[in-house]
Amino acid sequence: MVKILLQYGTCIIFLLGFVICIMAVRIAVASIPTTLEGPFQPVTVQFDPSLRHGSSDLPQNDSRIAKQVTGNYPEQIALALSTPDAMWITWITGNAQLAPQVVPLDPTTVASVVQYGTKSGNYSLSAVGTSLVYNQLYPFPGLLNYTSGIIHHVHLTGLTPNTKYFYKCGDPSQGEMSEEYNFTTLPLPGPDSYPSSIAILGDLGLTYNSSTTLDHIILNNPSLLLLVGDLSYANNYLTTGESAACYSCSFPTAPTHETYQPHWDNWGRFMQPLTTTVPMMVIEGNHEIETQVGGATFVSYKSRFSVPAEESASNNNLYYSFTAGGIHFIMLGAYVDYNRTGIQYNWLLQDLAKVDRSVTPWLVATWHPPWYNSYSSHYREVECMRLQMEDLLYSYGVDVVFSGHVHAYERCNRVYNYTLDASGPVYITVGDGGNIEQIEISHADDVGQCPSPDANEPEYGGICPFNFSSGPAAGKFCWNQQPEWSAFRESSFGHGILQVVNSTHALWTWHRNQDVYSSAVGDQIYIVRNSSSSNRNSSSANRNSSSSNRNSSFVSFDASFVLFLFLVFWFSRVVSSCP
């Protein structure tokens, strides 16, 4: 017996380990709920009093935001997706100016060149782009004016999918090129091709909390970054660099709403460790408006970020669409005309009509202010936009909607027109990136926290207040308990990761900043597509199909099965080597 145990002991140990691994993984996977199990009973996780409500911005001399290059060497380098076989690369050269009188740089004095190839150090390809500068001027005594460095935008085309490219950017004629960076292109559109993971967040800012969020994202190694508005918070500053969590509270006598444009440059440097290798897709928030005295808006935002507006036929950087593997993303503007008679709505209608769900099964929409939000802050603020656009998005079967604006986290049950609806989108608010305005902790259903109908007026579009006409909140503007459409909410800083597994299942994970060095997650669920609602463009569609949805076959991606196949292969090799 002893001889047998000695002879086969290793194999027996491997077999026991194999069984234990399978059981552990199956238990872990089985514990993750799916949207098919919804609607879920509302859950609230209150703010942890051991945490701070917020933090200050990083100091100007912090190495993460201080300028590290001289002359016309590139900095603030960032990638952005274009078409499936193309990529934008943006960077800035030269010195911005902040003074009572400024003289813009001449963008023609520095070339915009990217040298790239599929082998490190061997740049067999090159592309030339365009450049510009912008000004933010304040004709008031004591205020400082700003003119930017030279902003370069280069479009790389004809790229091979799923391929790693190495690149440098700058002006080779002046010998001022960046160090080498690399990126990997995404797969071509298709029902079985998806980015490995997508980091999604909003309202990031440039605080110590923002730094924790960014570090956490980098640890999660995403292949795509989605920012749903309110990026740098440069408009929480005076032109002199003095900041406040509440601008109007701290600077009530300011002659205009000032901004501190060097904060944008700091933010670009702050993001560069991630955006040199991971494409960053942005949509504007209210903090990007930055109205100038002459009435111009979004000047910094439009100048600094490359987005595929022309490629998606919107021709407006404030709304556009793009495709990443089997996902079609719609980026909508909440601070530009969204009415049904307007240009954006007409573009959206045409864009949705072009989507082939057999090629891109997933349809994801984003905009900055949430339609479904149970926090006091910004409660029902953009009802006008919802009333104009919700029917259209519902009719085309949008799967998930991501927003920010509210500085907290909230995931909704599937909902349409404030009614639980198995064919409605899953709305998720991720405005908890860490900005200077601090975390939101009060809910509209808390005692004494219901705002008046005219309290939350948006920067664009006016208000459309009304009391609910049916349901538990009938006759009221606010619920007196957490709304049934609000599945989970928590006041913590963090970010989300979307991992689309196949044409029907996507794993959504919300990571809290306090869990950065642990394996814990704040919220996790498999979002299961309701394929019957795709392109449901008929008024006769059944909006209460929860029973048929729940009885549909659950062709779930089972992570344990993949591990099972791997372990079977591994175990067979072990067994074959046993005596």
136 vs 113: CA distance, rounded Å? 27
Give CB contacts under 8 A, 24+ apart, made by 246-253: 246/437
Q: At what angle do helices 343-354 and 383-395 cross, to 10 degrees?
A: 20
Which residue is it, tokens 């089972």? 558
Phi/psi of residue 172, nearest 5 degrees: -65, -25
Q: Which of 152, 155, 378, 495 is catalytic?
A: 378
203 vs 236: CA distance, rounded Å? 13
375 vs 456: CA distance, rounded Å? 12
62 vs 58: CA distance, rounded Å? 6
Q: Are strands 87-93 and 135-136 parallel, antiparallel or unpaired?
A: unpaired
520 vs 522: CA distance, rounded Å? 7
**∠ CA(354), CA(356), CA(360), 5° rounding?**
120
Looking at the DSSP bridge assignments, the partners of residue 164 are 184
Looking at the DSSP bridge assignments, the partners of residue 324 are 327
Contacts of 500 (CB under 8 A, 6+ apart): 194, 195, 198, 325, 326, 327, 362, 506
Which residue is it, tokens 């002879």? 7
Positive or negative: CA dihedral 574, 576, 577, 579? positive
18 vs 567: CA distance, rounded Å? 7
Give Rg (Cα) of the chain: 25
Phi/psi of residue 155, nearest 5 degrees: -105, 115
Of 432, 431, 436, the C-alpha closest to 58 is 436
Q: Are strands 97-99 and 145-147 parallel, antiparallel or unpaired?
A: antiparallel
Residue type (1 letter), 230: D
- Any catalytic annotation for residue 378? yes
**Active-site residue set:** 378
